[in-house]
Amino acid sequence: MKIAVCISHVPDTATNIKIGEDGKTIDKSGVTYVLNPYDEIAIEEALKTKEKIGGEVVAISLGDDSNKESIKKALAMGVDSGVLLKDSNYRDSVSLAKALAEEIKAQGAELVFFGKQAVDYDNSITGQLTAEFLGYNCVSVAVGFTLEDNKITAEREIEGGKEVMETTLPAVITTQKGLNEPRYASLKGIMAAKRKTIEEKDAATFDNFVEVVAMKRPQGKQAGKILGSDASAVPELVRLLKEEAKVI
Ligand SMILES: Cc1cc2nc3c(=O)[nH]c(=O)nc-3n(C[C@H](O)[C@H](O)[C@H](O)COP(=O)(O)OP(=O)(O)OC[C@H]3O[C@@H](n4cnc5c(N)ncnc54)[C@H](O)[C@@H]3O)c2cc1C
């Protein structure tokens, strides 16, 4: 069976992000990009599934040439081949998901793993949208996954417990921390990755329905106020919490 895993190339969370001169995109200069951490979990689950039932895993990423770094990391972890859908223009999640769905269909993949969220734009929706465009079943934010014959059993964390879901192939699964422990790329894997192919093609274009009009940095924290050091400060504290902070 063909298994696909969709991966995003995102700024390292330790990077100090600056807003670009246009006020609506990030300034990419000096930004270190990495494979999205949730997508490492998706790759691990795809590889574990292949090791159990056989088949082939393809990693698909939409973006510019720099996304090849994350595809190479996936190949070094053990993914069989990669596809770069080339586009460096802004895409909303719908346009992204439509292009991914088209490629997944062309690949004939019946099982598709996504991370639950890309840690840059945080929409947490691409997997679910792609499932809808493909007409596949979908379980999101999975912390457990098994596939027996055609039947998938997946677990999701909910408030105070776990939910156990069953569905059938074809399906999209979005992965959450706790599902597995992603493997490190071994030296053998890194060497083997050099012989694996990354197919490059222009990403299919679709209309965007959402446009980013501005990006803003969070306001800096205000200095704290010291109202006093004994009980006499309490009335003023209560007044400020009510009238200024409006939290009581
Ligand atoms: C070329 C490009 C330029 C963009 N420029 C901007 C911009 O300037 N400003 C802005 O706010 N947003 C921008 N975006 C982000 C866009 O608005 C969407 O938010 C984004 O495409 C999907 O949302 P997300 O990254 O939050 O993914 P989520 O929905 O949070 O991601 C969930 C999962 O979807 C998969 N996934 C996500 N992205 C990709 C990908 N590119 N390829 C393959 N799989 C993926 C991964 O498995 C990921 O874990 C850009 C996107 C692209 C592709």
Pocket flag, ligand 1, residue 125 (CB < 6 Å): yes
Report the SS3 class of residue 146: strand
**Residue 117: inside a domain:** yes
**Residue 244: inside a domain:** no
**If you take atom 21 of ligand 1, which residue's CA is the nearest one?**
93
Expressed in angstroms and rounded, the spacing between residue 119 Cα and the centre of ligand 1 is: 9
Ligand 1 pocket test target in 9, 21, 83, 91 with most atoms within 8 Å of CB:
91
**Residue 82: inside a domain:** yes
**Residue 232: inside a domain:** no
Pocket flag, ligand 1, residue 115 (CB < 6 Å): yes
What total of structural domains would you count in the chain? 1
Closest Cα partner for 89 from 208, 214, 172? 208
Question: Residue 44's domain spans which residues?
Answer: 2-202
**Residue 234: inside a domain:** no
**Residue 110: inside a domain:** yes
- Summarize pLDDT for 45-97 with one digit per residue, the tens: 999 999 999 999 999 999 999 999 999 999 999 999 999 999 999 999 999 99
pTM: 0.90
**Residue 94: inside a domain:** yes
- How would residue 44 be classed by pLDDT, with cut points 50, 70 and 90? very high
Rounded CA-CA distance 42/183 in Å is 11
The CATH number that applies at residue 125 is 3.40.50.620
Rounded CA-CA distance 241/246 in Å is 6
**Residue 195: inside a domain:** yes
C-alpha separations of 3 from 35, 61, 68, 99, 121 in Å? 19, 14, 19, 17, 25
